[in-house]
């Protein structure tokens, strides 16, 4: 019983520690491992289910997961997260250190900038698509943390697949700034620099006046009349894949 109480205390403390992240669910742990995360602790309420998931969805990690996951009673597992994942898996990992040059200096791919996103799940979904579509990094302005457990759960742990950081403002960089703005010019992928900072605002408020004033270009996605906006992660996906297809990228 004492060890179970200590386990609950460790997971609760990890949620408050800016150097750690709680991984909720099989997919978050799977991707964290594939992209080099340092896992400090991993538990499962159902070892048999964990073994089946590993065999079906991540056979490359099956033996590693078997050695990493420690079984815990279902009652204790239920106390480790506000909404324990159905896969019965939770873990604590170290957040990777992100250095400024890794994502702000001129590169070969786009950088995604989210300006004050309103929902952690949307933020996590944007991280997921940014990783899948080959963005070099994702930067978030505002109070929401892209490493919040809800965002990591929605991002399937792909915060470990590319540099992800929260900052108070966008520093100067060698990249052109392209603002997604309903009043902008129609998006022409061929005219967007390959290493552009692509700035997306929230569905309700859009981009800040300060970012719009700094933008080198303002562009908009074409939409059917009567449709005023897209979900944030959907907009990020549409733009990134338009740019990727325009450049003939066929990786993956």
Identify which of 236, 34, 37 has the alpha carbon closest to the alpha carbon of residue 130: 236
- CATH architecture of residue range(s) 2-94: 2-Layer Sandwich (3.30)
Concatenated DSSP letters of the chain: -HHHHHHHHHHHHHHH-TTEEEEESHHHHHHHHHTT--EEEEEES-HHHHHHHHHHH-GGGHHHHHHH-EE--HHHHTTSSSS--TT-EEEEEEPPP--THHHHS--SS-EEEEES-S-HHHHHHHHHHHHHHT-SEEEEESS--TTSHHHHHHTTTGGGSS-EEEESS----SSPEEEEEEEEEEP-GGGS-TT-EEEEEBTTTBS-HHHHHH-SEEEE----TT-----HHHHHHHHHHHHHHHTT----
Q: What is the pTM of this model?
A: 0.90
Provide the mean pLDDT of the chain.
Answer: 91
- Rounded to whole angstroms, the Cα distance separating 121 from 41 reads 24
| Residue 224, pLDDT score | 85
| Residue 86, pLDDT score | 94
| Residue 87, pLDDT score | 95
Low-confidence ranges of the chain (pLDDT < 50): 251-252
| Residue 106, pLDDT score | 67
Domain ranges, ordered by start, for the chain: 2-94, 101-246
- Altogether, the residues listed in the chain come to a count of 252
| Residue 215, pLDDT score | 94
Class of domain 101-246: alpha beta
Bridge-based pairing of strands 177-186 and 217-220 is parallel
| Residue 101, pLDDT score | 57
| Residue 216, pLDDT score | 94
């Amino acid at each position: 019983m004492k060890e179970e109480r200590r386990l609950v205390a460790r997971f609760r403390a990890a949620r408050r520690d800016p150097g750690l992240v709680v991984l909720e669910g099989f997919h978050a742990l799977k991707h964290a491992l594939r992209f080099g995360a340092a896992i400090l602790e991993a538990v499962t309420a159902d070892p048999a289910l964990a073994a089946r998931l590993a065999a079906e969805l991540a056979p490359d990690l099956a033996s590693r997961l078997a050695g990493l996951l420690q079984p815990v009673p279902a009652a204790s597992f239920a106390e480790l997260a506000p909404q324990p994942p159905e896969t019965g898996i939770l873990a604590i990992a170290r957040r990777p250190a992100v250095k400024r040059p890794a994502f702000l200096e001129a590169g070969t791919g786009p950088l995604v900038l989210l300006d004050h996103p309103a929902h952690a799940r949307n933020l996590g979904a944007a991280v997921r698509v940014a990783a899948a579509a080959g963005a070099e990094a994702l930067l978030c302005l505002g109070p929401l943390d892209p490493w919040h457990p809800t965002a990591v759960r929605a991002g399937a742990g792909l915060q470990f697949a590319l540099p992800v950081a929260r900052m108070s403002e966008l520093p100067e960089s060698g990249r052109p700034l392209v603002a997604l703005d309903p009043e902008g010019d129609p998006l022409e992928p061929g005219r967007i620099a390959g290493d552009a900072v692509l700035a997306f605002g929230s569905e309700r408020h859009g981009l800040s006046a300060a970012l719009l004033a700094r933008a080198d270009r303002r562009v908009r996605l074409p939409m059917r009349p009567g449709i005023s906006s897209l979900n944030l992660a959907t907009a990020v996906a549409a733009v990134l894949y338009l740019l990727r297809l325009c450049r003939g990228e066929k990786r993956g």
